[in-house]
Amino acid sequence: MGDWQNLERKVSALPSLNIHTKRLKRKLIGHATDCELDKASRILIPATLREYAKLDKKLILSGQGNNFELWDEDAWHEQIENLDSLSRQEEVPPEITQLSL
């Protein structure tokens, strides 16, 4: 919750007349919803967010360090293909080439 509140403060401090700020506030903060775990430790995603994200039956939960992304399976595969295509068009940045896995 502390991380979220910190992000919310940063977004709220952005210039309110900037179109990108308005879009970010509406999409990120305007759709924010408190979610609680049920007895089986599941999160119920509100219908409005499921509809917006076009989440149907098969989903992908992608861990991203201290956060995660939830995708419709078909949209996920399309996104990965797009990223792969875009990354082939650019050189790998030095920050990534220096990583050791």
Say what the pLDDT of residue 74 is: 94
Q: Is residue 97 in a domain?
A: no
Say what the pLDDT of residue 46 is: 86
Distance CA 84, CA 57 (A): 25
Query: 2 is in which domain, residue-wise?
Result: 1-32
pLDDT exceeds cutoff 80 at 83: yes
Say what the pLDDT of residue 72 is: 94
- Domain shared by 22 and 45, yes or no: no
Three-state SS string over the chain comes to: CHHHHHHHHHHHCCCCCCHHHHHHHHHHHCCCCCCCECCCCCECCCHHHHHHCCCCCCEEEEECCCCEEEEEHHHHHHHHHHHHHHHHCCCCCHHHHCCCC
pLDDT exceeds cutoff 90 at 67: no
Total structural domains within the chain: 2
